[in-house]
Structure 1
């Protein structure tokens, strides 16, 4: 099968990402022009451009940054999880991390003390989501352990159970909260970047950047793991330590993304597969390319979500599911039930 030229993929994705970012800044209910960007970003905009400058700096620019960070972190986490378990259906959401993070974030939204300032709340929410995702991952790992080794089938079954329990808890909390909190919880469940501001980005960016920057460094170990755990161990890879590092970074990525944007599915599944179809399974290029493509996909989905039905904003999580769901079904049909092979 003819592959896409590997040396061109990263520059091409980076160029597309830059062009799409500029386009996302310009489109919306208030149409902007490329020639206006310099004046709008100047320190002292004129009274005539003050409103447009505020829209650009306080609404669109934070959304672009959050889409880039979240998309990259989710996609590279998905690619690493698929390589770790040698299973193309693996995803942080499948082992309960997303649902655990969402349950913790929902619990915080329902019970947060009124005395906390908005700044403190913005920092606590990513932490709560991270703790929830970490607890879910630890429980799934504990249930997935068989004689000191991680069983993929047991881990995924544990993740499905944790997902069901967490979603039931979220449903109960929705019944016990007031209307305003219920709207916030619904937004989390559907996924939205509508409330992503500079404060939320500052709180979540470190948790999102770590996976996006550190997971591509695990490419060599994941390539060795494609041969099998025993073979990877003979090549000098500490397989259990590799699993712990990848799972920890995936929890960071998912917990922070849930805290900022709610549950956004399929980015971690879709982006790695599209890259793998182009260049094959080598993780040293697959991981950074997945990060760039995940950022591009989520940015496109968010731009579509806020423009396609103006003045109504669609939930971006629903759009990613509409894109990823059919791809997921196609993948299952193409594999013919062989879920254990890449």
Structure 2
């Protein structure tokens, strides 16, 4: 399941990809810095440098406490969370499209998002676990419960791609129905509005403690997926091909499903369900760099991070001072971008 050194890109092609990855990482760093600056109250480059310098203990003239708190406590964790969630969703989409051999697979295929929504609504509306779990904890518990149910239903199926897709849809519909039932039976208008806003996805709840959790989970998930690059290449051609290459199909699929479920659960529990990132980014990156997952995965992670950073920035400023849920913006951008990718691939 690990990356085979014999197949690693060498020579001019390898150097070119290394340079491109560095450029992409630089673009992400610039995007994070640029997105932190903009908002209803713009902060200049010098102001941003002074905030960061002060937090690092450098001898700089501090900004006003209100501006310092705005940048450090609100904007920076929000933008970093957008980068981490964007990378997670893009990696999950890339992995699931290979594991299920389904071009329309995205991180919410497994029903984890619906489980997280049900868990969050249970806490918000019914108050169950509100004092111990909170909304984020409830969403995470719901996501893990839905994934556990998925594995239970798949335990005797051999984890073939068709059954994964169908069972994931069934589990997702079950928890979506539970969410609707709880809202219809117990929620008032204000609670329903708050839940709807959460379900559409928003980076507003991001704080340093949740950023730290995502900063641990996301790189680990990406590393495990990258170490399975050769297995993903084989699985993309089907179980028979993967088996002939010596890949343990069932164990590899189980590992990758656990990784994608963990990444999706943490992302959805923190910021809600954000669609289209895990669907369009892998297709766009695959069109540019090819299908080999040892290249596709890191590029997809960086592209997903940059995409969601700027999408969230647009959600903040497009209708200021009112904020639009970022999931609305990703859907509005995602539909035409996905149609464009399909057209370029000759599938439309």
Deviation at 1:312, TM superposition (A): 0.8
Q: Paired residue for 1:314, among 308, 320, 324?
A: 324
Rounded Cα–Cα distance in structure 2 between residues aligned with 1:210 and 1:93: 20
Deviation at 1:195, TM superposition (A): 1.6
Q: Paired residue for 2:208, among 198, 205, 209?
A: 198
Deviation at 1:321, TM superposition (A): 1.1
Rounded Cα–Cα distance in structure 2 between residues aligned with 1:131 and 1:310: 34
Rounded Cα–Cα distance in structure 2 between residues aligned with 1:203 and 1:113: 24
SS at the partner of 1:191? coil
Provide the TM-score with structure 2 as the length reference. Answer: 0.84
What residue is the counterpart of 1:340 in the other structure? none
SS at the partner of 1:150? coil
Farther-moved stretch of structure 1 (46-55 vs 237-246): 46-55
SS at the partner of 1:94? coil
Deviation at 1:112, TM superposition (A): 3.9
What residue is the counterpart of 1:277 in the other structure? 287
Asked if 1:165 is matched to 2:174, the reply is yes
What residue is the counterpart of 2:227 in the other structure? 217
Deviation at 1:113, TM superposition (A): 5.5
Aligned length in residues: 329
Q: Paired residue for 1:104, among 119, 123, 131?
A: 119
What residue is the counterpart of 2:31 in the other structure? 20
Rounded Cα–Cα distance in structure 2 between residues aligned with 1:295 and 1:254: 14
Give per-residue Cα distances to partners, 1:285-314, cap 9 Å, x unaligned: 101111111111110110000011110111
Deviation at 1:53, TM superposition (A): 0.6
Rounded Cα–Cα distance in structure 2 between residues aligned with 1:90 and 1:214: 19
Aligned partners of 2:122 and 2:128 also within 8 Å: no
What residue is the counterpart of 2:198 in the other structure? 188
Give per-residue Cα distances to partners, 1:50-105, cap 9 Å, x unaligned: 21111000110110111111111111111011111222211221232211222122
Deviation at 1:35, TM superposition (A): 1.4
Structure 2: unaligned runs, 5 residues or longer: 1-12
SS at the partner of 1:134? helix
Aligned partners of 1:196 and 1:260 also within 8 Å: yes
SS at the partner of 2:206? coil
Give per-residue Cα distances to partners, 1:221-274, cap 9 Å, x unaligned: 112223432232232211111111111111111111111111101111111111
Provide the TM-score with structure 1 as the length reference. Answer: 0.86
Asked if 1:246 is matched to 2:260, the reply is no
Farther-moved stretch of structure 1 (98-107 vs 239-248): 98-107
Deviation at 1:179, TM superposition (A): 5.0
What residue is the counterpart of 2:72 in the other structure? 57
Deviation at 1:37, TM superposition (A): 2.0
Farther-moved stretch of structure 1 (44-53 vs 80-89): 44-53
Rounded Cα–Cα distance in structure 2 between residues aligned with 1:324 and 1:164: 23
What residue is the counterpart of 2:162 in the other structure? 153
What residue is the counterpart of 1:232 in the other structure? 242
Aligned partners of 1:141 and 1:155 also within 8 Å: no
Deviation at 1:18, TM superposition (A): 0.8
Rounded Cα–Cα distance in structure 1 between residues aligned with 2:183 and 2:261: 24
Aligned partners of 1:6 and 1:279 also within 8 Å: no
Q: Paired residue for 2:304, among 294, 310, 327?
A: 294
Rounded Cα–Cα distance in structure 1 between residues aligned with 2:150 and 2:20: 35
Aligned partners of 1:67 and 1:302 also within 8 Å: yes
Structure 1's 61 and 158: CA in aligned 2 closer, same or farther, altered over 3 A? same
